[in-house]
Amino acid sequence: MKCNKCEKPATFHITERVGGKEQWEELHLCEDCAREYLSRSSEPQESESLASALLQHLKIGQTAEELSKLDKKTCPVCGITFYEFRHHGRLGCPNDYLCFQEQLEQLVENIHGATVHTGKRPKKSTCMLDKQTQLIRLRRDMRDAVHAEDYERASVLRDQIRELEDEGS
What is the per-residue pLDDT across 44-69, written as a single tens digit (0 to 9) for each?
A: 444 445 555 555 555 444 566 777 78
**Is the whole model's pTM more than 0.75, yes or no?**
no
User: Which residue type does 57 have?
Assistant: H
Q: What is the mean pLDDT of the chain?
A: 78
Distance linking the first and last C-alpha atoms of the chain: 41
Residue 1 has pLDDT above 60, yes or no: yes
The span from the CA of 133 to the CA of 130, in Å, is 5
- For residue 126, pLDDT over 70 is answered with no
Contact 14, 26 (CB under 8 A): yes
Q: How far apart are CA 153 and CA 159, in angstroms?
A: 10
pLDDT of 138: 94
* 152 has pLDDT over 60: yes
Is residue 136 predicted with pLDDT exceeding 80?
yes
For the ranges 5-9, 94-98, 118-122, 143-147, the maximum mean pLDDT occurs at 143-147
